[in-house]
C-alpha cells in the first residue's frame, strides 16, 4: 500500500490537470502548472510524466524542435 503525503497528493492532482489544459489550448496555464510540479518533484521519475505532457503540448503547437529539446534535456 502506498502512503500519500499531502504534498504528493497535491502534486499528483496538479499533474492530472496538465494534459487537459494543454489539449484545450491553455498552454500558459499548463506551463505554469508544470513548473510547479517540477519544483516539487523529488526524483526524475516524478518529473517524467510532466516532461511527457510538455512534449505532447509542443507537438500539439507544432513546435517539434522544442519537443525534441525537452526530450534531450531529460
Encode pLDDT of 44-56 as tens digits: 888 898 899 899 8
Asked if residue 41 is part of any domain, the answer here is yes
> Once rounded to an integer, what is the mean pLDDT over residues 12-41?
80
Asked if residue 1 is part of any domain, the answer here is no
Other C-beta atoms lying within 10 Å of the C-beta of residue 73:
8
pLDDT at position 27 over 50: yes
Residues spanned by the domain of 58: 7-73
Asked if residue 60 is part of any domain, the answer here is yes
Asked if residue 53 is part of any domain, the answer here is yes
More confident residue, 3 or 56: 56
Q: Which residues of 25-41 are buried (b: 16+ CB within 10 A; e: fewer)?
A: ebeeebeebbeebeeeb
For the chain, the domain total comes to: 1
Contact 17, 33 (CB under 8 A): yes
pLDDT at position 1 over 50: no
Asked if residue 2 is part of any domain, the answer here is no
Alpha helices by DSSP H, 1-74: 6-23, 27-40, 44-60, 64-73
Asked if residue 27 is part of any domain, the answer here is yes
Average pLDDT, the chain: 81
pTM beyond 0.85, yes or no: no
Asked if residue 63 is part of any domain, the answer here is yes
Amino acid at each position: 500500500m502506498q502512503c500519500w503525503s499531502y504534498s504528493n497528493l497535491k502534486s499528483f492532482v496538479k499533474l492530472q490537470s496538465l494534459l487537459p489544459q494543454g489539449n484545450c489550448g491553455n498552454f500558459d496555464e499548463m506551463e505554469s502548472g508544470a513548473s510547479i510540479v517540477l519544483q516539487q518533484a523529488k526524483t526524475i521519475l516524478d518529473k517524467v510524466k510532466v516532461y511527457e505532457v510538455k512534449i505532447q503540448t509542443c507537438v500539439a503547437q507544432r513546435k517539434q524542435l522544442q519537443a525534441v529539446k525537452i526530450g534531450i534535456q531529460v
